[in-house]
Every structure is written in C-alpha cells, then in structure tokens.
C-alpha cells in the first residue's frame, strides 16, 4: 500500500477515535442521568430504554474499537 492510502487510512483512524470519545461522553452522560433517576423510575419503561441505549452505545464503541484495530493492522503491514 502506498503512503497516500496509508495516510488516508490514518486520517480515518483519527476520525473514528474522535467518534469513540464522543460516544464515551454520551454514554457517561446517559449513565449519570440513569443513576440520578429515582429507583422507581429506573425500573420503568424510561429507565429500561436508557439502559438499552447504554448497551447500544457500548456495542457501538466496541465496533469502532474493532474497526480501528483492523485499520491499524492494514497501515502497519
């Protein structure tokens, strides 16, 4: 792979890492909001939806981490 394509992939890696950091922030905010709910609301539809959203955010973060790892392997080869 030539330098230009490697540089373009490296730029994508940086963008993905920034997206992952944003997802981390959103996850933390949602987790804090969930923790601040009264216990009775944590078991309500709203609380369950918040938990589901946190799970999906966590899955998205994991997917980005896997993608970054794959791209880093390409750049290093």
Q: Where are the domains of the chain?
A: 3-72
The two structure tokens encoding residue 15: 């963008």
Confidence (pLDDT) at 77: 87
For the chain, give percent helix, strand, coil, nearest 5. 90, 0, 10
Confidence (pLDDT) at 1: 86
Res 53 pLDDT > 90: yes
Rounded to two decimals, the pTM is 0.87
Residues contacting residue 39 through CB under 8 Å, at least 6 positions apart: none
- Cα 37 to Cα 55: distance, rounded to the nearest angstrom: 18
Q: What is each CA distance from 49 to 3, 18, 44, in whole angstroms?
A: 45, 26, 9
């Amino acid at each position: 792979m030539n330098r230009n394509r490697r540089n373009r992939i490296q730029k994508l890696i940086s963008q993905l890492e920034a997206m992952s950091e944003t997802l981390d922030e959103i996850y933390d905010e949602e987790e804090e909001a969930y923790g601040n709910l009264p216990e009775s609301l944590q078991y309500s539809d709203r609380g369950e939806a918040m938990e589901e959203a946190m799970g999906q955010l966590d899955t998205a973060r994991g997917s980005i981490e896997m993608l970054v790892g794959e791209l880093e392997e390409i750049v290093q080869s």
